[in-house]
A and B are shown apart, each in its own frame.
Chain A
Amino acid sequence: MLLLQQLINGLMQGSIYALVAIGYSLVFGVLNLLNMAHGEVFMIAGFVGLLLILALDLPIYLAIPAAMAAAALLGVIIELLCFRPIKKEFHLAPVVSTIAFGTVLVSLTVNFIGSEPQVFPAHVNIGDFSVGGILISGTELLMFAIAITLMVLLTFMLEKTKTGRAMRAMAENEKAAQILGVNVKRIIITTFAISAALAGIAGILVGLRFGVISPFVGATIGLKALAVMVIGGLGNIYGAMVAGLLLGMLEAATVVIPGLSPYVDAVIWGFLVFVLLFKPNGLLGTRVQAERV
């Protein structure tokens, strides 16, 4: 019973990581770029959702898409400011500029809203339910379902749609794709918008689940999602899902196994090193096109 509850706790925490990491992986898989402000997009979306709920008394089913839209817009802004003006060859520059952009977002939030976590109104939440004595959070279950659905949808999109094909072509070879008539700029913007929207929905759902959102949450979640992406396989969407759930369960395991609790960070990052030792490309291999022959 205890172990089953802990397994559920871990899976639910893992679905948060998965959702954030899938967006990370998408940008990396298609564009070979790292957006280090991804965690801050998550944070801003949480705040946007909260402000809409507080100011306009929006119901949850409207606040969630609104937060996603705000996040998508932020993703587009990040692309235009931090990626587009910078040459592809300067690999480090967009990394540094997105770190800077994320820092600016945190600083603005601290100055305009405050450093303390902001509280979601108690009446706004998706309830919990209990199955045979096991407590399951409705919000987390929704997050889990969304993560699975998105994973399937994204894979379908990449495999079957025109945009998806264009994305895969870009992942393969951007120059060639451009010559063959792929609208590279549009694809990049689309990729960023989708990726940020995923961080956005995670941001507001996490806020709803735990009742608070803090301006500093982005750094933690961003770093964890980065670990998840590397463990799963750079740019591999299935990998991000599997590794996210795995990491959530690993965290719960450190609480269950006596004496391991203070070493939770060592366990997670040690696991990353361990995986890379034996599978240098991550658990499920790398990049979007790796799934094709």
Chain B
Amino acid sequence: MLTKSKKGIFATLAVLTLVTATALTGCGDGASTSSSGDTIQIGALVDKSGKGADWGRKNEIAMNIAVEEINASGGINGSPIELLVRDTNGRNEEAVNLTRSLAGQGVAAIVGPFFSGECEVAFPQANQLQVPIISPSSAKAGISENNRPWAFRNSMTDDKLLREATPRFVKAFDVKTVVVLHDERDAWSKAVGTDDLPREFKAAGVEILNEGNYFSFNTGETNFSAIVTQVRNLNPDAIAFGGLYNEAAAFAREMERQGLKIPVLGGVGMYAGALIQQGGTAVENFVATSSWNVDSEDEQARSFVEKFKPQAAQITPADPLPGSFEANHYETIYMIAHVLEQAGVDHTTPTEEVRLALRDGFANLKDFKGITGLTSIDEKGDGIKTIYPLVVREGRFEILE
């Protein structure tokens, strides 16, 4: 009897240990790497184990390529860069904690976090601790603006991207009516699907057939049968889709199944090789916005794609090409290096001075030449970048003319 109850206690303990262990593995590389003091440290927040794990791992590859290149060419004014990568698990609270701990370790800046939801809580924290934070991926309008002067984004927000892309889409497909739907659980998607897309379509004189009744779904949804049936019944010329590429591909497959063949416009979150990989023939005439063109002729861009492909193939064999997020992560490291070089910073410069130099350098960045083209930072702290509305034609993204 005694042994039995002991067994039970042991099992419970074992379980608790297991739970704690899994909880801990979610916190990234817990231990801080002790800096040897002769490097410039840059923190990075990526999601390596959560909903965006494949993205996070590829973002890390992109940043490491940049760090290796910069260090190989002598670092920043002679000081090599050291990248401290932390795993947020895609969770907002983790992004806040890690922002705090990286700031405490004296990093020059933090690159990330990945999701707009994470940025909404990590940016205020960085702003309060006075450490520059630069997200290469978040695109929901207003997040940097609310956290001046320390928060920046090397990405185009959707309001700007869609202001450019929507009229082009409307013209290319002769769109007079549209139906709007969005992902209710994802901060970025909801903003695109309820603000940016409807606003731009209305501005282009397009009628929204489900005004006041926007359809919505939850992140991870695969069954779009009811929504597609409803959309088909409204018979629009096109669809405005506020969602990420996984859901877009699932939606496309259901469209194809129910014989609904109309063009679809989405934002940056819909631009990924995986959209075509998962959607196959169903994503023909899907248009996504991006500020990165993977077929760029730029020499540095091409060398980056070549270095990136073999490493990314180990994570997503079906989709090894860098998307706009990976390109922006690579570019952001170069941006930081550029600003610090201009300011004459090296590893002996006190942390506070390094951070101030970055804050002011980023705020005044004009026409920085990176692999995505020319980038400037506007008064809101967001990137002004080249815009590519990309349409899927016969299984490839092409620039929509």
Interface string of A1-13 (1 = CB under 8 A from B): 0100110011011
Report whether B215 and A261 are in contact in the complex, using a CB–CB cutoff of 8 Å.
Answer: yes
Report whether A6 and B226 are in contact in the complex, using a CB–CB cutoff of 8 Å.
Answer: yes
Report whether B19 and A100 are in contact in the complex, using a CB–CB cutoff of 8 Å.
Answer: yes
At the interface with chain B, which of A61-69, A175-183, A251-259?
A251-259
Q: Which residues from 234 to 251 on chain A have a C-beta closer than 8 Å to any C-beta of chain B?
A: 251
Residue numbers in A under 8 Å from B8 (CB-CB): 85-87, 90, 93
Report whether B22 and A104 are in contact in the complex, using a CB–CB cutoff of 8 Å.
Answer: yes
How many angstroms between the C-alpha atoms of A100 and B212 in the bound complex?
A: 42
How many angstroms between the C-alpha atoms of A207 and B271 in the bound complex?
A: 24
Determine how close the nearest CB of chain A comes to the CB of B221; give it in whole angstroms: 9
At the interface with chain A, which of B47-55, B61-69, B142-150, B359-367?
B47-55
How many angstroms between the C-alpha atoms of A171 and B258 in the bound complex?
A: 46
| Given known A-B contacts A13-B223, A93-B15, A261 and B277 have beta carbons under 8 A apart | no
Residue numbers in A under 8 Å from B11 (CB-CB): 85-86, 93, 97
B53 nearest in chain A by CB position: A115
Report whether A212 and B250 are in contact in the complex, using a CB–CB cutoff of 8 Å.
Answer: yes
At the interface with chain B, which of A195-203, A214-222, A271-279?
A214-222
Q: Looking at the complex, which one of B51, B184, B226, B277 makes contact with A252 (CB distance below 8 Å)?
A: B226
Determine how close the nearest CB of chain A comes to the CB of B117; give it in whole angstroms: 16
Q: Which residues from 13 to 53 on chain B have a C-beta closer than 8 Å to any C-beta of chain A?
A: 15-16, 18-19, 22, 25, 49-53
Report whether A216 and B51 are in contact in the complex, using a CB–CB cutoff of 8 Å.
Answer: yes
Determine how close the nearest CB of chain A comes to the CB of B321; give it in whole angstroms: 14
How many angstroms between the C-alpha atoms of A271 and B216 in the bound complex?
A: 19
Residue numbers in A under 8 Å from B223 (CB-CB): 13, 210
Interface size grouping (class) on chain B: 35 or more
B318 nearest in chain A by CB position: A119
Q: Looking at the complex, which one of B12, B214, B222, B233 makes contact with A210 (CB distance below 8 Å)?
A: B222
Report whether A114 and B316 are in contact in the complex, using a CB–CB cutoff of 8 Å.
Answer: yes
Most chain A CB atoms below 10 A, which of B214, B257, B316? B257
Residue numbers in B under 8 Å from A12 (CB-CB): 225
Say yes or no: is A128 at the interface (Cβ < 8 Å to chain B). Answer: yes
Determine how close the nearest CB of chain B comes to the CB of A18; give it in whole angstroms: 14
Say yes or no: is A153 at the interface (Cβ < 8 Å to chain B). Answer: no
How many angstroms between the C-alpha atoms of A173 and B49 in the bound complex?
A: 44
Q: Looking at the complex, which one of B4, B278, B315 makes contact with A117 (CB distance below 8 Å)?
A: B278
Say yes or no: is B344 at the interface (Cβ < 8 Å to chain A). Answer: no
Determine how close the nearest CB of chain B comes to the CB of A49; give it in whole angstroms: 15
| Given known A-B contacts A85-B11, A97-B11, A103 and B22 have beta carbons under 8 A apart | yes
Interface string of B223-235 (1 = CB under 8 A from A): 1011101100100
Report whether B278 and A107 are in contact in the complex, using a CB–CB cutoff of 8 Å.
Answer: no
How many angstroms between the C-alpha atoms of A87 and B16 in the bound complex?
A: 15
Residue numbers in A under 8 Å from B214 (CB-CB): 261-262
Which applies to chain B's interface (DSSP): helix, strand, loop or mixed?
A: helix
Interface string of A104-123 (1 = CB under 8 A from B): 10010011001111010010
How many angstroms between the C-alpha atoms of A2 and B234 in the bound complex?
A: 11
| Given known A-B contacts A110-B49, A114-B54, A117-B278, A13 and B15 have beta carbons under 8 A apart | no
B185 nearest in chain A by CB position: A265
Say yes or no: is A164 at the interface (Cβ < 8 Å to chain B). Answer: no
| Given known A-B contacts A85-B7, A87-B5, A220-B220, A100 and B15 have beta carbons under 8 A apart | yes
| Given known A-B contacts A93-B12, A128-B257, A258 and B213 have beta carbons under 8 A apart | yes
Report whether B226 and A115 are in contact in the complex, using a CB–CB cutoff of 8 Å.
Answer: no
Report whether A217 and B220 are in contact in the complex, using a CB–CB cutoff of 8 Å.
Answer: yes
Report whether B226 and A251 are in contact in the complex, using a CB–CB cutoff of 8 Å.
Answer: yes
Determine how close the nearest CB of chain B comes to the CB of A175; give it in whole angstroms: 14
Q: Looking at the complex, which one of B213, B278, B319 makes contact with A212 (CB distance below 8 Å)?
A: B278
Residue numbers in B under 8 Å from A216 (CB-CB): 51, 220
Report whether A119 and B220 are in contact in the complex, using a CB–CB cutoff of 8 Å.
Answer: no
| Given known A-B contacts A104-B22, A116-B274, A5 and B229 have beta carbons under 8 A apart | yes
Say yes or no: is B246 at the interface (Cβ < 8 Å to chain A). Answer: yes
How many angstroms between the C-alpha atoms of A118 and B226 in the bound complex?
A: 23
Say yes or no: is A290 at the interface (Cβ < 8 Å to chain B). Answer: no
Say yes or no: is A96 at the interface (Cβ < 8 Å to chain B). Answer: yes
How many angstroms between the C-alpha atoms of A137 and B257 in the bound complex?
A: 9
Q: Which residues from 262 to 280 on chain B have a C-beta closer than 8 Å to any C-beta of chain A?
A: 274, 277-278, 280
Report whether A210 and B250 are in contact in the complex, using a CB–CB cutoff of 8 Å.
Answer: yes
A213 nearest in chain B by CB position: B222
Interface string of A62-92 (1 = CB under 8 A from B): 0000000000000000000010011100100
How many angstroms between the C-alpha atoms of A146 and B335 in the bound complex?
A: 58
Determine how close the nearest CB of chain A comes to the CB of B224; give it in whole angstroms: 9
Q: Which residues from 195 to 233 on chain B have a C-beta closer than 8 Å to any C-beta of chain A?
A: 212-216, 218, 220, 222-223, 225-227, 229-230, 233
How many angstroms between the C-alpha atoms of A122 and B233 in the bound complex?
A: 27
How many angstroms between the C-alpha atoms of A97 and B10 in the bound complex?
A: 12
Interface string of B260-300 (1 = CB under 8 A from A): 00000000000000100110100000000000000000000
Determine how close the nearest CB of chain A comes to the CB of B383; give it in whole angstroms: 26
Report whether A87 and B4 are in contact in the complex, using a CB–CB cutoff of 8 Å.
Answer: yes
Say yes or no: is A52 at the interface (Cβ < 8 Å to chain B). Answer: no
How many angstroms between the C-alpha atoms of A195 and B278 in the bound complex?
A: 31
Residue numbers in A under 8 Å from B19 (CB-CB): 96, 99-100, 103
Say yes or no: is A150 at the interface (Cβ < 8 Å to chain B). Answer: no
Residue numbers in B under 8 Å from A262 (CB-CB): 184, 214, 216
Say yes or no: is B253 at the interface (Cβ < 8 Å to chain A). Answer: yes
How many angstroms between the C-alpha atoms of A96 and B222 in the bound complex?
A: 28
A87 nearest in chain B by CB position: B8
Residue numbers in A under 8 Å from B233 (CB-CB): 2
Report whether B230 and A255 are in contact in the complex, using a CB–CB cutoff of 8 Å.
Answer: yes
Report whether B53 and A256 are in contact in the complex, using a CB–CB cutoff of 8 Å.
Answer: no
How many angstroms between the C-alpha atoms of A108 and B259 in the bound complex?
A: 38
Say yes or no: is A264 at the interface (Cβ < 8 Å to chain B). Answer: yes
How many angstroms between the C-alpha atoms of A264 and B332 in the bound complex?
A: 39
Report whether A264 and B225 are in contact in the complex, using a CB–CB cutoff of 8 Å.
Answer: no
A-B contact list, 26 entries, CB within 8 Å: A2-B229, A13-B223, A13-B225, A82-B15, A85-B10, A87-B8, A93-B8, A97-B18, A100-B19, A107-B49, A110-B50, A111-B49, A115-B51, A115-B54, A117-B278, A119-B318, A128-B257, A206-B222, A210-B223, A211-B253, A212-B249, A212-B250, A255-B215, A255-B227, A255-B230, A261-B216
